[in-house]
A and B are shown apart, each in its own frame.
Chain A
Amino acid sequence: MILAQTRTYTTGSGPGPGPSSSSVLEYLAPCPDQVLENVLENVLWFLTSRKDRNAASLVCRSWYRVEALTRSDLFIGNCYAVSPKRATSRFTRIRSVTLKGRPRFADFNLMPPNWGAHLAPWVSAMALTYPWLEKVHLKRMSVTDDDLALLAESFSGFKELVLVCCDGFGTSGLAIVASRCRQLKVLDLIESEVSDDDVDWISYFPDTGTCLESLIFDCVECPIDFDALERLVANSPSLKKLRLNRHVSMGQLHRLMVQAPRLTHLGTGSFSPSEDVAQGEQGPDYVSAFAACKSIVCLSGFREIIPDYLPAINPVCANLTSLNFSYANVSAEHLKPIISNCHKLQIFWVLDSICDEGLQAVAATCKELRELRVFPFEAREDIEGPVSEVGLQAVSEGCRKLESILYFCQRMTNAAVVAMSKNCPDLVVFRLCIMGRHRPDHVTGEPMDEGFGAIVMNCKKLTRLAVSGLLTDRAFAYIGKYGKIVRTLSVAFAGDSDMGLKYVLEGCPRLQKLEIRDSPFGDAALLSGLHHYYNMRFLWMSACNLSNQGCQQIAQALPRLVVEVIKHEDNLDMDENVDTLYMYRSLEGPRDDVPRFVSIL
């Protein structure tokens, strides 16, 4: 039991009372263990890193206990790794919960819907044990309107709701959150699917004013009542981040910007005038509106952009650190005058419609760039494609501080990838998606082994890697040999034999998340990772060469591993081939919400 600690101590080091001042004699001398726990509790409050806390909790029972009492942020990377009951029993003073559910490949229709990752059991448990809960961050979870209602009712001081890639709820759930959570500061909906229940959720925020600091709803596909939104913005003096959906026209955006010139993050909605604006009519002065917003550092939106309006953002370009054009079909010509002002840009998301030429312009100006994502306007395999090794090479030469890149293209060369590995030594995330399956270096005709090999060899800080193109086992040999701190690896249509997977499982001691599709890795390869699976968050393998027998062996050898075999709904008989294997460590054993297309071995 922890004593109140308002007395001063003159000794702080070592167990035992030691020499002490007279003030200690004023109360019953605590035993050494309790002294230590007091000190520990004081100190551990300041420990925020998850890793440090986990380490601290392993020292001894006393430290385990105190750490559990002082942890306020609960992070659960796989909602099935631990049960709500176990988590809430151990950690009783949680203020913030982060939960992740489905595996990432589910985003690409590789998993049937209704697989799981339900929020319901979690919110029920937390409603009982965490009355002071303030923040909930969810990724790839299934959230219902009832869940949102329970959340809104159970936590009177609730401040922050962030839903990333979630689904299962609608505007009625949002309305409940808006009306009940009076302390709400953050409501961020990011790439989530929100069903249209015909409820005008924006109007459910209190008329008297809100504490909102961040309202992100650019993924909500339903139209909103603009007048209600305008009132909300006017009533939210703390609002700094506002990301509108595509149903907000430019004229409406203008009105909001006039109301909220102190915004730091702005999602611009459609960025095109509504239909009612006649052509040639004098529109609002967008340039002035942007000029008045001197604090904007992050711009996004542009969902239905009319490129003629793009120059309106010029006043803010010099201050921008983050720019998201990934829904804007703009050409290099449109981009160049804008990007040439963005000297401070650190994060840039864009469509390949800007072509290699646009990327060259980025490389010429954005010397501070840390993160680049180039998305395909047309995600097809059989076209020539507007970006290539030319763009990648240019970026590598111009943006030397690059840390993270996601690059979709149709053609690539080893030379450009090697160049990036040498020019950008700070790379932490390298994700190259050559959209044509098994496509080799289009100049030499060789596999892309050397390029990816150079990345793992030269980028000493690399922790996340996604490979593509024609790859032999050699590429995996490189990854196993040099990728010593790789934590996340994505593989698709790659490799020749079991050796490929073996190299990785035997060579990468820090591997946490491994997702593989359509690659010729079989049971022998799977078995070679037995020593490591308990150290991983998950392994996903779909359309590989696995059999039920091989997966059974794993399940038997590792009882704390949940081995899920996911079948297609119209193919439920257990034949020998495994369509999809998804396995993860868990303290709970097989989950109890398994749909009929999943069997747990």
Chain B
Amino acid sequence: MSPEDGSNLLESDAASVSFKETELTLGLPGESRGLALIEKTGGKRGFSETVDLNLGRSSTVDSDHKKYSGESETDVQNMAKPPAAKAQVVGWPPVRAYRKNAMKGCKYVKVAVDGAPYLRKVDLEMYSSYQQLLNALQDMFSCSSFTIRNYLNERAVTNQEVNNGVEYVPIYEDKDGDWMMLGDVPWKMFVESCKRLRLMKSSEAIGFAPRTPSKCSSSN
């Protein structure tokens, strides 16, 4: 992993780091991460044991685990990237949990589903990848059976009980007011620029070509 260029921090696309990603956790895979766990386990061990137990797990892309680095979640080629150059340690750098959480912020966006009468809100900061977001949307609107066309992995994320599944395409409105496909930009950039989400019926998405055709097969 190449160290991030410091200038990235300035641009508006460099959203604040989800500090949950970079914190030492002592839990098993699948356990919720973040500060809560650290407080439970009571901080670091000995002087020689200041290593991050997340190393080695950070390379999976499709998992629900928080990513170790801030790299793009969408690039499938990132699967085999090496772990971060330096292990992270509890309580270092010494920034108060309160401040870290405040910087993390809270990014609520409205989600509209074509044909549904109600809007929902999601906090984008709760997720660290497109996959997680799509899974959450799936759960949220599970009362209507549909499949979300997942342009990331070129396969549909399906609801188990789909009957006559209506396929939806997730799009979002960015800061400039343009409607874009999910998956075109790195996750953090997306969080920073997304103002609201819409699950558009696939049938209406015909003219909606994705920006990077190389990633996706042509729509069927």
Q: Which residues of A contact B (CB under 8 A)?
A: 105, 107-113, 165, 191, 193, 219, 246, 275, 279, 303-304, 326-327, 329, 331, 352-353, 355, 375-386, 408, 410, 433, 435-437, 492-493, 517-518, 520, 542-545, 566-571, 577, 579-580, 597
Contact = CB atoms under 8 A, between A and B. Distances in A.
Given A379-B19, A579-B45, A109 B97 contact: yes
A288 to B, nearest CB: 27
A437 B42 contact: no
Contacts of A493: 92
Contacts of B91: 105, 108-110, 517
B42 A381 contact: no
A196 B74 CA distance: 35
Interface string B92-113: 1111111110110110001000
B41 to A, nearest CB: 6
A492 to B, nearest CB: 7
Contact of B6 (A105, A110, A384, A543): A384
A377 B102 contact: no
A542 B3 CA distance: 30
Given A380-B93, A410-B6, A543-B47, 17 more contacts: A107-B94, A107-B96, A108-B96, A109-B38, A111-B43, A191-B99, A353-B9, A377-B9, A379-B17, A379-B19, A379-B95, A386-B9, A435-B93, A492-B94, A568-B43, A569-B41, A580-B43
B157 interface: no
A570 B41 contact: yes
Interface in B5-20: 5-7, 9-10, 16-17, 19
Given A378-B16, A569-B40, A384 B96 contact: no
A574 to B, nearest CB: 15
Contact of A382 (B19, B47, B84, B95): B84
13 contacts: A105-B91, A107-B97, A109-B35, A109-B91, A113-B39, A191-B98, A303-B102, A383-B6, A383-B9, A518-B89, A543-B45, A544-B47, A580-B43
Contacts of B89: 437, 518
A189 B45 CA distance: 33
Contacts of A382: 3, 84-86
A440 to B, nearest CB: 15
Contacts of A380: 17, 22, 88, 93
Contacts of A165: 96, 98
Contacts of B7: 386
A386 B9 CA distance: 7
Contacts of B97: 107-109
B218 to A, nearest CB: 34
B50 interface: yes
Nearest to A410: B6
B94 A108 contact: yes
Contacts of A580: 43
Nearest to B95: A379
Nearest to A388: B6
B95 A329 contact: no
Given A331-B10, A386-B10, A377 B100 contact: no
Contacts, number: 139
B9 A518 contact: no
A433 B46 contact: no
Contacts of A326: 99
B86 A355 contact: no
B177 interface: yes
Contacts of B100: 379
Interface string B58-102: 000000000000000000000000001110111111111111101
A570 B38 CA distance: 12
Contacts of A113: 39
A383 B4 contact: yes
B10 A355 contact: yes
Contacts of A577: 46
Given A384-B5, A577-B46, A109 B40 contact: no
A239 B2 CA distance: 52
Interface residues of B, number: 45
B17 A378 contact: yes
B45 A385 contact: no
B6 A408 contact: no
Nearest to B43: A110
Nearest to A571: B45
B44 interface: yes
Nearest to A105: B91
A352 B17 CA distance: 14
Contacts of B99: 191, 326-327, 375
Given A492-B92, A520-B47, A570-B41, A353 B10 contact: yes
A363 B165 CA distance: 62
Nearest to A385: B6
A542 B50 CA distance: 12
B6 A386 contact: yes
Given A382-B85, A386-B9, A437 B46 contact: no
Nearest to A408: B93
Nearest to B19: A379
Contacts of A109: 35, 38-39, 43, 90-91, 97
Contacts of B88: 380-381
B98 A219 contact: yes
Given A108-B92, A111-B42, A193 B103 contact: no
B10 A384 contact: no
Contacts of A303: 102, 105
* Most chain A CB neighbours (cut-off 10 Å) among B4, B6, B7: B6
B4 A384 contact: yes
* Interface hub of B19, B44, B105 (most chain A Cβ within 10 A): B44
A597 B88 CA distance: 25
Contacts of B103: 327, 377
B112 to A, nearest CB: 13
Counting from the closest, the 7 A-B pairs by CB-CB distance are: A108-B91, A384-B6, A112-B42, A568-B42, A435-B93, A379-B95, A379-B93
Contacts of A377: 9, 16, 103
B86 A543 contact: no
B41 A568 contact: yes
Nearest to B90: A109
Given A275-B110, A384-B6, A569-B41, A433 B93 contact: yes
Contact of B3 (A329, A383, A570): A383
B72 to A, nearest CB: 16
Interface in B22-65: 22, 35, 38-47, 50
B91 to A, nearest CB: 3
Nearest to A577: B46
A377 B39 CA distance: 23
Nearest to A517: B91
